[in-house]
């Protein structure tokens, strides 16, 4: 009887251990997860007390905040020697909903306004800067280039593969993927999502673009399957370059003084270049006239003073 009881106890412990191991956030590796008394798995964002919904993508603002957490707080990962490329990443201020606050400031008195993708859309100022509403990024244009290959992919196959990727991996509704264009080796993807079109259950295209960029740069946010693999009719799509452009519902508000200065600089360069070109033409014309005069003097035997034209 005792061996049977011991085996049963071992089975229970094994099941409990397996359940604990499965308590992870598949869509966000920057989380600490634990089971409560009811065996419900709860995941909290690293560096904050924000509870994460692991059934969908985490907002870009919260992800950036987690990435700014000191490495000593990331040892839960099991990889204490991981190094992160945080160029272009800042520690953002997020609303309770997870979206960016319209005004962002660094550790000093420098502040600026951002869009829903967290991209700066104004000049930097001091803490008196007022940003008003958070302007929505409604169009994201992704441009990338795949590695050289002997033969280009089929256009239809690569479009279907990328559409499936965005729909299955990032949970993006197909209506927001407005175009996938391909001309080897360039691939262009258009994501358009107006504020009036987005429901509460829809993922934001800014979050999708951030997850995708992280995947391409081998720094996936997903807990497992960190290496992105895209198959196009059986052939691997290896992306080597990516660039993302953001278009807001309202134009950016950069300082006109700086734009005027930039325009003046362009005008100055053009003026100097044109003046130099005119001077060269005048000198060449003078040299050509003198050459003709010398030839004429040799033919007629006349001696004349140099022309002043």
For residue 287, tell me if it sits in a domain: no
Q: How confident is the model at residue 299 (pLDDT cuts 50, 70, 90)?
A: low
Three-state DSSP state, 187: strand
Average pLDDT over residues 48-72: 87
Q: How confident is the model at residue 267 (pLDDT cuts 50, 70, 90)?
A: very low
For residue 280, tell me if it sits in a domain: no
Question: Are the CB atoms for 132 and 102 separated by under 8 Å?
Answer: yes
Q: What pLDDT does residue 224 have?
A: 78
Q: What pLDDT does residue 142 have?
A: 97
Q: How confident is the model at residue 51 (pLDDT cuts 50, 70, 90)?
A: very high
For residue 304, tell me if it sits in a domain: no
Question: pLDDT tens digits for 198-222?
Answer: 999 999 999 999 999 999 999 999 9
For residue 188, tell me if it sits in a domain: yes
- 């550790």: which residue's tokens? 107
pTM: predicted TM-score of the whole model, two decimal places? 0.73
Average pLDDT over residues 89-109: 90
For residue 119, tell me if it sits in a domain: yes
Whole-number average pLDDT of the chain: 80
For residue 302, tell me if it sits in a domain: no
| Total of domains in the chain | 1
Task: Give the up-direction half-sphere exposure of residue 268: CA atoms within 13 A in the CB hemisphere.
Answer: 6
Average pLDDT over residues 53-70: 91
Q: How confident is the model at residue 47 (pLDDT cuts 50, 70, 90)?
A: confident
Three-state DSSP state, 185: coil
For residue 151, tell me if it sits in a domain: yes
For residue 277, tell me if it sits in a domain: no
Does the pLDDT value for residue 281 go beyond 50? yes
- 């006109």: which residue's tokens? 256
**Would you give the end-to-end CA distance of the chain in angstroms?**
123
Question: What is the extent of the structural domain holding 160?
Answer: 31-71+86-255
Does the pLDDT value for residue 268 go beyond 70? no
């Amino acid at each position: 009887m005792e061996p049977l009881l011991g085996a049963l106890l071992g089975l229970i412990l094994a099941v409990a251990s397996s359940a604990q191991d499965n308590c992870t956030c598949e869509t966000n590796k920057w989380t600490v997860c634990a089971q409560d008394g009811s065996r419900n798995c709860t995941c909290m964002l690293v560096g904050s007390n924000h509870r994460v919904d692991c059934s969908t993508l985490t907002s870009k603002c919260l992800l950036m905040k987690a990435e700014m957490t000191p490495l000593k707080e990331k040892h839960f990962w099991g990889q204490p020697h991981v190094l992160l490329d945080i160029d272009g990443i800042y520690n953002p201020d997020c609303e309770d909903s997870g979206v960016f606050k319209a005004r962002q400031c660094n550790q000093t008195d420098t502040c600026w306004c951002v869009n829903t993708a967290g991209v700066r859309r104004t000049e930097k100022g001091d803490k008196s800067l007022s940003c008003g509403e958070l302007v929505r990024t409604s169009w994201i244009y992704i441009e990338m280039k795949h590695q050289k290959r002997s033969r280009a992919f089929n256009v239809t196959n690569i479009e279907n593969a990328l559409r499936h990727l965005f729909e299955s991996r990032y949970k993006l509704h197909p209506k927001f993927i407005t175009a996938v264009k391909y001309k080897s080796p360039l691939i262009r993807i258009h994501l358009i999502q107006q504020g009036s079109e987005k429901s509460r259950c829809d993922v934001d295209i800014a979050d999708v673009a951030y997850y995708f960029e992280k995947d391409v740069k081998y720094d996936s946010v997903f807990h497992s399957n960190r290496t992105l693999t895209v198959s196009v009719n059986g052939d691997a799509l290896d992306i080597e370059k990516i660039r993302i452009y953001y278009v807001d519902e309202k134009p950016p508000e950069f300082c006109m003084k700086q734009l005027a200065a930039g325009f003046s600089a362009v005008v100055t360069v053009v003026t100097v270049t044109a003046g130099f070109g005119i001077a060269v033409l005048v000198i060449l014309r003078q040299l050509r006239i003198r050459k003709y005069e010398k030839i004429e003097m040799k033919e007629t035997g006349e001696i004349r003073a140099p022309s002043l034209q």
